[in-house]
Structure formats: C-alpha cells, structure tokens
C-alpha cells in the first residue's frame, strides 16, 4: 500500500469481505473506499493476478480456504494489512446467542445449582420438613435479615436503572424498581409485632452473610449487569421463594400480626410476576457474546454459594437461645460512642415537619404596609398580599413577628383572623419567593472527621477483640497449618490484591478537596501491579499464572473485595475511614508465616514476595491512609458515623470468616490443586471445581 506507516492491526476477520471497490489501472491496483484511494504494492504479483486474489475476499471463505485458492499469495499478511486500514469487514456471524437462547443456558446452570445446593439448604429443609421444630426466633431472624436485605435494595437495583444495552430491558427494570420501593416497610410491620422498631433495626448489624449477598449484588449491578439480571429470577421467587416461608410460618402457628405483612409482600411479588423478570429482560436483549455468557454462567456459581450461605447463616445464628439481635453497641460495649447518641431514624410515612421551623424575614426584605395590602420587596423580586381593612392591625403584628422570627404557632396566634391555614399559605408563598429564612438554625449532629476516626479506632479495637479469632496466625504459630493452607492463603490474598485497584478506583469520582484527590490518586497508583508480585510467589510453588488468572475466589474473599468496592462507589466516608483495615501493618503475622513456611521447607521464592509486599504498605504509610483522609473532613454526621461503625463490623467479620474458610477449604494436605476453584468453563478438562 502507498501509506508508509501502518496503524495497529486489529483482529483479522475470520471470514473477510472486501469493504472497498477494486480499481484496476495501467499503473496497478487500487482500492477505493468512499473516495479515498489505497494503492497496493503487488510484491511481484502482476495486477490482474492481484485483482483475482482480491475478488476472492467476498465473505464466502475463511482464511484457510482463501489461502488454498489464492495459490502462492501470502493471504494472512494481505488480510492483516487490509484490516489495518479498515478495508475488510467480518462476514462471519458474531460468537453470540440471542438473549432468549442465552437464558436457556443460564437457567440450565441455575437449576442445577438450585437443586444441588439451595434446595438442600438446612434452613429450607427445616422449614419445609418440620417447621414445628424450628424455634420462633428463627422465623423472626429470617424477617430481620430480609428487612436488612430489602432496606438495601436500592444499593443493587439503582445502578442498572440507567443501563443502555436495551431500552425495553431498562424500562422493565425501572418498572420493577418502582414496584419494589417500600417493601422493607412491610417487613418492618411484621417485626414491630415482635417488639423491634425502626430505631432498633437501624442500630442492628446484619449477619455477614446478608451483607455479603447485598454487596455482591451491588457490585455486579455496577460492573456486570448481565450477571445481575440473571440473579433476579432466583431472588424474586421463581423457585423457592418467600411464599414457602409463609406456609411454614402458618404451619408453625406464628402470630398473624407477624406473618400477615410478610404474606402481603409475597403476594406482591407473585401477582407482579417478579419471578419472571429475568426472562422479560433477556428476551429484550439483542444478544449476548459467548465470552460474556461464559462469565455469567461461571458467576452464577458464586451467587448461589452466597445465597446458600445467607439462608444457612440465619438458621445457625438465630436458632441459638438468647437475644440474637446484633446491636452495634454490643460489639464494643465499653466504648462510649458519643457520636451516635440519640435517634438516627425517621418514619418515612410520618408527616414532614414544616420548614422553616421559626420563619423569619431575610435581612434586606423591605415591608410596606398600605391600607389594602402589604408589599414585600427583596432585590428584584417581591410580592403583594391583599388584606381587608379590619385585618390591618393583625397584618402589622404578623410582619413584626416575622421580622424577629417566631414559631409557627406564635405567628398564628398574633393573627387569629387569618387562621392557622391562612398564615400557613402566606408563609408558603413567602418561602417560595425566597423571602424567609429560619431563626432557629438548629445544631449539627455529628463530629469532625478526625474525631470520628478516633471513635472508630476505639470501636474497631474493641470489636476486633470480640470478632476476630486470628485463626491463620494461630495455625502458623502452632505449626498446624498445612502447605496447602499456606498456598491457599497466598491464592486468596492474590485475589484481594488483584481486585484492589478496581475496588478503590470508584472512590476517585466523589467530590472532595484537591488534597483528598491527590491522596487517593497516589494510593491507587502505588497499589497497581502488586498482584504481579504475589503471582511470582505462587509460581514458586507450581501455580502458573494462566491457572491463577482463571481461579474463582472463595465466596468469603469475594465478599471482602466487593464490600470494599461498594463502599468506594456509594459510601465514601465509610470507605475512607475503613481503608486502613486493608493496609495495617501485620509484622507478627508475617513473621509467623515465614517461620512456618521455612519449617515446611517451602522455597524462599514463595514467602519472600509476600513479606516484601507487606513491607511496601509500611513504607508507603498506607496504614495511616484513613486518618489522613478523614482528617480532611470538617464534619461527619451522626447517622453516617453509625453506618460506618456497622460497616466496620461487616469488614472485621469478613476478614475473620475468610481466614477460617481458607483453613477449612484448603485442608490438611500438601497439595492445593484439589482445592482450586475452577470456573465451569474449565471443568471439561480439569474436572469439577472444588467448592
């Protein structure tokens, strides 16, 4: 071709079709595309022969067939060169299926997982087989966790409301979301019947398995909408659903005040056809690529694991006698927590308090009282209020009271002839014109960011002593951890570190000071690529990078990373305050790891990169990142502080659950290979994935 510099080569078409007109001239062959000429260098082939070769590129042959029919021509190079200048198109159909066909494959996998896991869950077996043997507190616990889940539904529904892949699918999702709003209030009515109100529940920490499921869905809704859509049929009760719970509660003889609102919620889902939402959405899609479909099917395994854990945890936790409500104060009972003193909730159905509470005319508002009207002017705007002569004195008193600022009841009292409703209408009109302010500015319920961080650190120290068992460190110290468990720890650690930059990045999009932005940018830049160091460590014990890249994380690992990602995306204060939990120095832990790895005769190439990576965090003062970020905040509100404390419990429990799961999953042997969790797409060659 006549252009000296080639642009980067895109993928060559599998079945190329020439996308330009062949122009044969005395001086050679050219291709014309929309008036732009591309002159071809024949490379020793005469022009007629080159023309014949080009005419073979008609979309009817793949690359191999073209090479056979072209004789000695270097067809692969020719196709690559043509593709570099967008002179060939792809005639082969894309590697994709219709949305409906993709859903058949998804439902096949989902049904298999449901019948082999969820339908055998100990919670549902107890509910369906003999609900009379299930303690009432388990039924209450199911409602508590369902309330927490539904209360957070906006977390995981709202990110897909603006999805652009299909207008009908987006409309269906928006309709569904509108129907779902307020369902948590139905469950709240049931819980009020057993003595749990809105304020108690606001100060209650959901089970870690509940938060793991909610955070996973929120993460997928932002990053993998097709996988999120695939979960909706199961969540909304196409198969085992809340109606099964209702029947069990009725058989158990639960009080109607408790079960009635839950039955009403089940009826809304069934009558609204919510269990068929996934089918409606997928039927509206143009298609799904095979790569995306494979990822979704693999992701369903993780979703069902998380959903299965959600139900099992309810039975395990609430079946134990005693008060099982997880109040946030109970995780650190000796900590004062003054930042969250007082109520933090309001009833959304309660009438809104009128504002301003103590109306006052803004400074600069001019008042002119005339025999038949009151004229108020403020800059370029104002209004006139017509009054009857007999109301003139009351109008003067009302304006005088507004000039000083007074409660609404007092304003109505100084102008009884206007009536409370009449005074209210005047205030509404004046406020709408921007003529009023509030003489009672109220007080800020909260503390500075630095003070919030002080209270949080004290809370974390106390809660960690109650929550975290230090299972891995103890196993290293006792010498009971196996070689497979050490490697398993490195595998899951690699998963967390690899996910780290993607989890942290959304935090940069939130508004904040330039100093905050610089801190986060520097932190993120230093975190990128650290997974390569851990990959080197695993290569030293036989886990090659290709295999490592395809491993599925333990559900506890995914719960930890998705929680961080959700906080970064939608709760920047909690993210900033709790980031230090991922970056704290752990010298004692790593000393124990090295000593035990040496005792097991593991190569230095394994443990040395792990210790080196931990040292990077120390050198970069990453353990202090939260204090530095929170120190930039002038104010953190009372409810936000409570939300952050609850998130701290969720993360501490996630860390502890992961350590215990690593020990349980990777087992006592020396070889970690049998425990590796491989996606479904690899099971044909490597056998079933470990679970």
Q: List Cβ neighbours of 408 (8 Å cut-off, separation of 6 or more).
A: 354, 357, 358, 359, 423, 424, 427
Percent of the chain with pLDDT over 70: 92
pLDDT tier, 684 (very low <50, low <70, confident <90, very high otherwise): very low
Q: Is the pLDDT of residue 104 over 80?
A: yes
Tell me: do 523 and 649 sit in the same domain: yes
Is residue 609 in a domain? yes
pLDDT at 6 > cutoff 60: no
The C-alpha atoms of residue 665 and residue 84 are separated, in whole angstroms, by: 49
pLDDT digit string, tens, across residues 472-521 = 999 999 999 999 999 999 999 999 999 999 999 999 999 999 999 999 99
Give the three-class secondary structure for 36.
Answer: strand
Sheet holding 373-378, edge to edge: 366-370, 373-378, 381-386
Higher-scoring residue by pLDDT: 243, 10:
243
We report the CATH number of the domain holding residue 391 as: 3.90.930
Phi, psi angle pair for 16, to nearest 5°: -75, 150
Residues 363, 474 within the same domain: no
> Is there a single domain that holds both residue 419 and residue 460?
no
391: which DSSP letter? G
Let me know whether 84 and 225 are in one domain: no
Give the position of tokens 């023309």: 51
Pick 16 or 622 by higher pLDDT.
16
CA angle 129, 130, 136 (to 5 degrees): 130
Residues 253 and 395 in one domain: no
39 located within any domain: yes
Q: Do 105 and 82 sit in the same domain of this protein? A: no
Q: Angle at Cα 257 formed by Cα 252 and Cα 261, nearest 5°?
A: 95
Q: Which of 390, 416, 438 finishes a domain?
A: 438
Judgement on whether residues 296 and 376 belong to the same structural domain of the protein:
no
* pLDDT band for position 5 (cuts 50, 70, 90): very low
261: exposed, middle or buried (Cβ count in 10 Å: 0-12, 13-18, 19+): buried
The residues that bridge with 636 in the sheet, in sequence order, are 447
CB atoms within 10 A of CB 182: 14
Q: Of 6-10, 98-102, 346-350, 657-661, which range is least confident?
A: 6-10
The DSSP letter of residue 362 is P
Q: Does residue 8 sit within a domain?
A: no
C-alpha–C-alpha distance, residues 554 and 543, integer Å: 17
d(CA 648, CA 575): 10
Does residue 580 carry a pLDDT above 90?
Answer: yes
- Average pLDDT of the residues in 361-383: 90
Is residue 649 within 8 Å of residue 463, measured between CB atoms? Answer: yes
β-pairing, 373-378 with 366-370? Answer: antiparallel
CATH (domain of 204): 1.20.910.10
Instruction: Tell me whether residue 463 is in a domain.
Output: yes
Q: What is the dihedral of CA 448, 454, 457, 458, to 10 degrees?
A: -130
**Stated length of the chain:** 691
Task: Give how far Cα 267 sits from Cα of 242, 260, 329, 405, 688, Å.
Answer: 9, 11, 36, 51, 39
Q: Based on the domain organization, do 634 and 608 belong to the same domain?
A: yes
**HEC per residue, 62-112:** CHHHHHHHCCCCCHHHHHHHHHHCCCEEECCCCCEECHHHHHHHHHHHHHH
> H-type helices in 181-289, by residue range?
183-192, 198-202, 208-223, 225-235, 242-252, 256-271, 277-283
**Other beta carbons less than 10 A from residue 156's beta carbon:** 23
For the chain, how far is it from start to end, CA to CA, in angstroms? 56
pLDDT of residue 380: 84
Structural domain harbouring 300: 96-326
What is the per-residue pLDDT for 341?
A: 64
Q: How many percent of the chain have pLDDT more than 90?
A: 71
What confidence score (pLDDT) does residue 687 get?
Answer: 43
With cut-offs at 50, 70 and 90, classify the pLDDT of residue 41.
Answer: confident
pLDDT of 595 above 90: yes
Give the model's pLDDT for residue 618: 61
CB 388 within 8 A of CB 439: no
| Domain final residue, candidates 411, 438, 465 | 438
Helices (H), 272-362: 277-283, 290-318
Assigned domain for 346 exists? no
Answer whether residue 679 is part of any domain. Answer: no
- Among 55-69, 118-132, 150-164, 670-684, the least confident range: 670-684
DSSP-derived pairing of the beta strands 381-386 and 436-438: unpaired
Whether 40 and 1 have beta carbons less than 8 Å apart is answered as: yes
Regarding whether 585 and 499 lie in a shared domain, the answer is yes
pLDDT for 3 equals: 42
CA–CA dist 109, 103 (Å, integer): 10
Residue 647 clears pLDDT 60, i.e. is over it: yes
**Where does a domain end: 438, 465, 482?**
438
Asked whether residue 626 carries a pLDDT value surpassing 70, the answer given is yes
If asked whether residues 46 and 123 sit together in one domain, one would say no
Eight-class DSSP state of 274: G
3-state secondary structure at position 563: helix
Q: What angle do CA 203, 206, 212 make, to 5 degrees?
A: 140
Q: Is the pLDDT of residue 68 over 70?
A: yes
* pLDDT of 620: 54
Task: State the virtual CA torsion across 120, 122, 127, 132 in degrees, nearest 10.
Answer: 140
Q: In this structure, what token pair is assigned to residue 563?
A: 């929680």
**Would you state the structure tokens that stand for residue 111, as one six-digit string?**
């049904």
φ/ψ of 438, rounded to 5, equals -115, 120
Residue 366 belongs to what H/E stretch? Answer: strand 366-370
Query: For residues 629 and 518, is the Cβ–Cβ distance under 8 A?
Result: no
Q: Is the pLDDT of residue 240 over 50?
A: no
Is 328:203 a contact under the CB 8 Å cutoff? yes
CA atoms within 13 A on the CB side of 217: 25
How many domains is the chain partitioned into structurally?
4
Indicate if the pLDDT at residue 242 is higher than 60. no
DSSP 354: P
**DSSP conformation class of 7:** P
Lowest mean pLDDT among 92-101, 111-120, 525-534, 612-621: 612-621
Mean pLDDT, rounded, for 605-625: 80
One domain, residues 158 and 85: no
The per-residue pLDDT for 487 is 97
Q: What is the pLDDT of residue 2?
A: 42
Answer yes or no: is pLDDT of 463 > 80: yes
Distances in Å between the alpha carbon of 216 and those of 219, 237, 556?
5, 19, 11
Domain shared by 636 and 576, yes or no: yes
Statement: residue 685 has pLDDT above 50: no
CA angle 54, 60, 65 (to 5 degrees): 75
Q: Does 130 reside within a domain?
A: yes
Inside any domain, residue 347: no
Distance CA 285, CA 173 (A): 13
Instruction: Return the structure tokens found at 572.
Output: 């920047």
Give the side-chain half-sphere CA count within 13 A for 96: 12
CA distance 248 to 130: 8
Mean pLDDT over residues 141-148, rounded? 97
Residue-wise pLDDT for 264-292, tens only, equals: 988 887 776 666 889 999 999 999 999 99
Q: Among candidates 247, 303, 268, 260, which has minimal Cα distance to 113? A: 303
């Amino acid at each position: 071709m006549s252009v000296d510099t080639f642009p980067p080569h895109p993928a060559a078409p599998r079945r190329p079709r020439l996308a330009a007109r062949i122009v044969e001239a005395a001086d050679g062959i050219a291709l014309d595309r929309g008036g732009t000429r591309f002159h071809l260098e024949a490379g020793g082939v005469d022009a007629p022969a080159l023309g014949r070769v080009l005419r073979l590129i008609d979309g009817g042959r793949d690359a191999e067939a073209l090479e056979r029919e072209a004789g000695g021509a270097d067809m692969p190079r020719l196709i690559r060169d043509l593709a570099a200048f967008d002179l060939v198109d792809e005639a082969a159909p894309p590697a994709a299926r219709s949305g409906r066909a993709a859903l058949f494959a998804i439902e096949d996998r989902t049904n298999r997982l449901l019948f082999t896991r969820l339908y055998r869950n100990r919670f549902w077996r107890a509910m369906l087989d003999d609900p009379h043997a299930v303690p009432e507190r388990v039924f209450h616990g199911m409602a508590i966790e369902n309330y927490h889940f539904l209360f957070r539904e906006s977390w995981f529904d709202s990110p897909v409301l603006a999805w652009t892949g299909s207008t009908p699918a987006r409309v269906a999702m928006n309709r569904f979301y509108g129907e779902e709003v307020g369902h948590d209030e139905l469950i709240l009515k049931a819980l009020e019947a057993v003595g749990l109100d809105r304020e108690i529940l606001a100060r209650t920490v959901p089970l870690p398995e509940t938060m793991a499921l909610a955070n996973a869905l929120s993460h997928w809704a932002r990053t993998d909408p097709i996988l999120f859509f695939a979960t909706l049929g199961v969540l909304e009760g196409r198969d085992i659903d809340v109606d099964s719970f209702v029947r069990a509660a009725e058989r158990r003889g639960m009080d109607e005040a408790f079960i009635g609102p839950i039955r009403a919620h089940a009826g809304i889902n069934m009558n609204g056809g919510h269990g068929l939402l996934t089918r409606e959405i997928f039927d509206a899609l143009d298609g799904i690529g095979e790569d995306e479909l494979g990822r979704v099917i693999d992701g369903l395994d993780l979703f069902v694991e998380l959903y299965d854990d959600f139900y099992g945890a309810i039975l395990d936790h609430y079946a134990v006698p005693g008060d099982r409500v997880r109040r946030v104060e109970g995780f650190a009972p000796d900590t004062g927590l003054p930042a969250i003193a007082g109520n933090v909730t309001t009833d959304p159905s309660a009438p809104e308090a009128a504002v301003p509470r103590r109306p006052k005319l803004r400074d600069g508002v001019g008042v002119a009282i005339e025999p038949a009207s009151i004229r108020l002017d403020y800059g370029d705007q104002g209004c006139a209020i017509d009054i009857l002569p007999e109301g003139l004195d009351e109008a003067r008193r009302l304006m005088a009271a507004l000039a000083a600022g007074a409660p609404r009841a007092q304003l109505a009292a100084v102008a009884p002839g206007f009536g409370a409703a009449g005074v209210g209408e005047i205030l509404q009109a004046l406020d709408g014109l921007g003529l009023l302010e509030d003489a009672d500015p109220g007080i800020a319920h909260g503390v500075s960011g630095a003070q919030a961080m002080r209270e949080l650190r004290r809370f974390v120290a106390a809660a960690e002593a109650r929550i975290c068992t230090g299972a891995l460190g103890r196993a290293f110290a006792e010498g009971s951890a196996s070689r497979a468990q050490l490697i398993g720890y490195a595998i899951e650690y690699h998963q967390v570190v690899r996910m780290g930059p993607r989890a942290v990045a959304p935090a940069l999009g939130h508004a904040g000071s330039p100093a905050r932005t610089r801190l986060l940018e520097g932190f993120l830049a230093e975190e990128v690529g650290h997974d390569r160091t851990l990959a080197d460590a695993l290569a030293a014990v036989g886990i090659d990078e290709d295999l490592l890249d395809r491993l599925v994380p333990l559900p506890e690992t995914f719960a930890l990373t998705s929680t961080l990602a959700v906080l970064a995306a939608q709760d920047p204060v909690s993210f900033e305050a709790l980031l230090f939990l991922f970056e704290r120095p752990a010298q004692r832990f790593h000393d124990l790891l090295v000593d035990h790895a040496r005792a097991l005769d593991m190569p230095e190439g394994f443990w040395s990169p792990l210790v080196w990576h931990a040292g990077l965090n120390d050198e970069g003062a990453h353990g202090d990142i939260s204090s530095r970020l929170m120190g930039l905040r002038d104010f953190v509100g009372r409810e936000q502080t409570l939300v952050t404390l609850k998130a701290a419990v969720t993360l501490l429990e996630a860390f502890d659950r992961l350590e215990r799961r690593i020990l349980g999953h990777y087992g006592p042997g020396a070889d970690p290979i049998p425990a590796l969790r491989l996606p479904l797409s690899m099971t044909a060659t490597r056998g079933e994935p470990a679970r």
